[in-house]
Chain A
Amino acid sequence: MVGGSILSLPSAGWRVRHPRNTMKETDIKRLLYVHLLCIFSVILSIFIPSFFLENFSVLETHLTWLCICSAFVTAINLVLYLTVKPNASSKRSSLTHKVSRFLKCCFYILMSCFSFHVIFVLYGAPLIELVLETFLFAVLLSTFTTVPCLCLLGPNIKAWLRVFSRNGVTSIWENSLQITTISSFVGTWLGALPIPLDWERPWQVWPISCTLGATFGYVAGLVISPLWIYWNRKRLTYKNN
């Protein structure tokens, strides 16, 4: 274990900057930059393709956008987490271990795509029609949720469950992961609400409103989590960091 618990209870005469505290603030700064880059990648995925592809628009060529957005977000996530290495605790390991870990990660992503697809169908998505749309939506949601989880926690279901249960987070990275993932889910969930309305808009078609909801939720989570952590930095104590 790298550090003990960060207990930063503000006592009355405590003016000296605690080294842990400064580390936390640099961490938050790093987190903010990472998240800004992620948001940037989402925005890029909207604007970059129109230079290369004709007739590109998020609504009309939705599937293309889904693929591009997923690819961008995955790439940025991978690059960032490899460079920033928030979970520095991972010890040096052999190549075979790394390979198996990588394969496991791929398997997890695949499984998460399939299980999201299954959940969408259970929620009422058509079973046979629009399979590609539904699956690409599942891929997108996986890139917003599963990929960061894998980057941060590795293929480790136990750790995932711990992070997503109450009082289970052990670092600001996990905390921000929790917030972004939950906000992506909530965005997706809220995105389904306008579908039954009779406004007859192009974005009400399945699964566009949900993908847009997921994207907005993800971006909102990326914006909110550093701010939230910054505001609550005094209160937040992480055990077992």
Chain B
Amino acid sequence: MRLGSGTFAACCVAIEVLGVAVFLRGFFPAPVRSSSGTEPRAEPPAPEPSAGASSNWTKLPPPLFSKAVIVLIDALRDDFVFGSKGVKFMPYLTYLVEKGASHSYVAEAKPPTVTMPRIKALMTGSLPGFVDVVRNFNSPAVLEDNVLRQAKAAGKRIIFYGDETWLKLFPKHFVDYDGTTSFFVSDYTEVDNNVTRHLDTVLGREDWDVLILHYLGLDHIGHVSGPDSPLIGRKLSEMDGVLMKIHTSLLSKERGMLLPSLLVLCGDHGMSETGSHGASSIEEVNTPLIFISSAFERKAGGIRHPKHVQQTDLAATLAIGLGLPIPKNSVGSLLFPVVEGKPMREQLRFLHLNAAQLSKLLQENVPLYKKDPGFEQFKMSERLHGNWIKLYLEESSSEVLSHLGAKVLRQYLEALETLSLSLRRQVAPYDTYSMAVGIALVLEVLMLLLLSIPKALCSKAELEVPLSSPFFSLLFYLAFLALSAIHVIVCTSAESSCYFCSVSWLMAGGMMMLMSLLLCAVVSAFTKTSVTMKLSSKTLAHCGSRWSELDLLILSGTVGHVLSLGASSFIEEEHQTWYFLVNTLCLALCQELYSNYFLGADSDSPVEQGLGTAAPALPFTSHRSDVSECDRVHPASAFEMLRDYEKWMVLASPWAVLTCCRLLRSLNQTGVQWAHRPDLGHWLTSSDHKAELSILAAVSLIMIFVLVQRRCSPISRAALALGLVGVYCYRAAIGNVLLPWQPDSKAISKGVVEARFVYIFVLGILFTGTKDLLKSQVAAADCGIQARCLWEVHSGLVLLAALLFRPHNLPVLVFSLLVQALMTKFIWRPLKHDAAEVTMMHYWFGQAFFYFQGNSNNIATVDVSAGFVGLDSYVEIPAVSLTAFATYTGPILWASHLVNYLRSETNSSSSALRHACFCYALMGSVPVGAYIILVTSLRYHLFIWSVFAPKLLYEGMHLFITAALCIFFTAMDQTKLMKS
């Protein structure tokens, strides 16, 4: 079967998406979850085990503490409390830790060491992974079972002051709250004063049970000046004062109460040596966890080395302490010293509740849970516990009871540890088989694409794809048999759950078939290429020498980018790579342009010396006499056709593009190392500069109209204008910008009406564009109409992007349109680049604009708010697709411009679009293929979850977008074929 190279590439990328999906499913293990849903159903607690005799203690044990105060200090590293800094700056706390009634631990936080997942881990006891971040993308509220929800259900009143993340995570959980934003990192006094100012009143009040304080100042100091800054000490002293105040107030109030109160001090994550966090270095992971209560025994001597525990243990301990059910998904174990003071029966009861919850979670997540040592230990200790209860109810001698009780206790603690460990490990292992299948599929496709480069980029752009012959080849059947055998062996012997084994046999068989088919195709392509290589080795060498500097640059840039993905810093700062490459590309184009301009395309004969002396050093001051002389020398030059000011523009355009890129670079600082630098985006979005932002947005929208309208039909021009006005109204309605006649917007709405108004125009423009396009094919209209229709589709996408972009990002859109126009008119058209080169340049610019928008390889920079534009509530499909579009606007708009350019410029060569599609597919799939292998080999790297895994998600999504774009390209190509 003969296929156009575009169609072929689109098919390849589609298969690659499948492969990447399988790989991702294997790479990101499904998190440990209780299957009993997210509904807050009141499940009866596990009854006390008893052997024979009836123990009717089926209710939850009563709380141990009447009040609990949780003081969370952001980025509190363990050595700030237990190290020399703690001794120096936190004397009260050090006293409490060493001599007071307290239990102190070093709690280990799991990466990503970022505030939100850590808060979730502290309150739910589960380990929020990356899949979790993606799944709960649009609903920041914690849906899982957690301590706060249980407390609320039990009628406890919770008060919260501090980081507003809590308010997003736990909406409507607090009877009283005051959120502070962590947005202004340079402020480290106000954020904490905003919390502390409530202390006096709230400590005087009696109407609360749980008080949560989240102090942000320390984290801000870390971000700004690092962990060795003198500000840290001052902040720690301040925190010590706060703790003393709370502790003394709690102690003074305790006299009138039955139960003691509890003060918990914890940190959500640590602080690296540079003051940042997010990764998994020891400094970032270790945080202090201190329980202070008069219920505990006073310690005689100081213990300087606290025990290491997990951060997730807090949820279980807190739940027990407050007499609440343990959150269902908690993988933590009870910190036993906290309940040590209670009678033996209660202690055992607590441990039993915790162990029963963990074993239930294990049962729901591990099919072979019965073989788990933790489960066995649990069953044994439960039996022993039952015996103990029997003896207890029979009122045996206290010595026997305590002896046996201690034994049961030990057994339980061991069981808890093993259970917790195996549950935590449950998250860890990779599903190697699915990963291998995914890698194999992706690599086969990649090989096929690479091997078919010479054929696909020849002038005919057609490939012979042998689809029927493999069915008769021995290799196909052998490969199929071998793969199926492997599948059967792996799946029958698998101990851990494997995703690819759990799909239906039919589907697995289909995948096997696809893989062996691809293998056959690769082998046949390989033999073919090697044969042709041998035949035409001479001509190929000749081809190699014909490469221009630009081709070399593009090739080396692509290879360099792929190689750079192996280093975590280069992934974190990938935007720098793209900016750098795009700049170099512009300079290379500039060089090509100038040497073409001044010397002509065939510069074999050197130009007269006298001509050059008049030429100035800088392009901006080029003389007209020079230009005319130049033209006289090379009458065939493409610059002949241009008018005078256009010639001037040709010389200036690379610099204009470079300037645009530089301006955009300072709009959004992304990445990690320089992300905290001040940028224009933050300056504009701060509430003081609303007027400037409004002006900028209005000017940008006008510029968008000016740049887009020139090639539209009158109707869509009007629609575009109205749509852009609607965009401004939408932004004014949700309070981002000001309207001149309403300087102070009174009511901030969700702007649903305005946004839907714009959507109507977007859909209208897209619809009429597509309709005209189809009609022009049937009626065999001329190319001008087709180009106009395509442009209308492009303008519809631009309008949608204008709606979804935040107002400070609108210049990105303007500059993207501007750069496209400049490059088309003054660079690509005069220099007559071929389709492949133009495609790769578009790809690079698309990538650069992806980062200009403020994206990075960190999940946190995805602008989720784009998914809510024009929607009343969260609706999954539109929200996800709108967010995806808003995130990948740069690549999408550049690809759409590519189609426009190729259709309007290269009418003569029919293969341009196919070449473009093939190149685009290749450019998109080479990094993915390489990255998948890299990630697999680096899967035990320290930064795998903090750096490499998010990038993998981005790459997967990017490949998906690329596949969609390739299909779009192919569709355009097909319509063209129909016409011809």
Binding site for B on A (CB under 8 A): 107-108, 111-112, 115, 119, 121-124, 127, 155-159, 161-162, 164-168, 170, 189, 192, 195-198, 200, 239-240
Contacts and interface: CB of A to CB of B under 8 A. Distances in A.
Given A122-B659, A197-B567, A192 B580 contact: yes
A158 B587 contact: no
A122 B661 contact: yes
A157 B617 contact: yes
Contacts of A112: 617
Contacts of B3: none
A156 B595 contact: no
A239 B606 CA distance: 9
A157 B662 CA distance: 27
A164 B662 CA distance: 27
Nearest to A198: B569
A158 B615 contact: yes
Contacts of B573: 196
A240 B607 CA distance: 11
Nearest to B592: A165
B569 A196 contact: yes
Given A115-B618, A122-B658, A156 B609 contact: yes
A115 B620 CA distance: 12
A123 B580 contact: yes
A198 B617 CA distance: 39
B618 A165 contact: no
Contacts, number: 85
Interface in B556-581: 567-570, 572-573, 576-577, 579-580
A231 to B, nearest CB: 18
Contacts of B577: 196
A158 B609 contact: yes
B56 interface: no
A155 B613 CA distance: 7
Interface string B742-757: 0000000000000000
A226 B274 CA distance: 47
Contacts of A155: 613
7 nearest interchain CB pairs? Answer: A158-B612, A196-B573, A157-B615, A165-B595, A111-B617, A122-B658, A198-B569
Report whether over half of chain B's contact residues are helix, strand or loop; otherwise say mixed: helix
A166 B603 contact: yes
A158 B618 contact: no
A238 B666 CA distance: 47
Contact of B616 (A122, A157, A239, A240): A157
Contacts of B570: 196-197
Contact of A158 (B274, B572, B611, B661): B611
B583 interface: yes
B598 interface: yes
A108 B658 CA distance: 22
Given A111-B617, A124-B662, A161-B594, 17 more contacts: A107-B617, A111-B618, A112-B617, A115-B617, A115-B618, A124-B579, A156-B609, A156-B612, A157-B598, A157-B616, A158-B611, A159-B612, A162-B606, A196-B572, A198-B572, A198-B673, A240-B606
22 contacts: A108-B617, A111-B618, A115-B617, A122-B583, A122-B661, A123-B580, A123-B583, A157-B616, A158-B598, A161-B594, A165-B599, A167-B603, A167-B604, A168-B603, A189-B584, A195-B576, A196-B569, A196-B572, A196-B573, A198-B568, A198-B569, A198-B673
B634 interface: no
B607 A162 contact: yes
Contacts of A240: 606
B616 A196 contact: no
Nearest to A158: B612
A115 B616 CA distance: 13
Contacts of A108: 617
Given A112-B617, A196-B570, A240-B606, A161 B580 contact: no
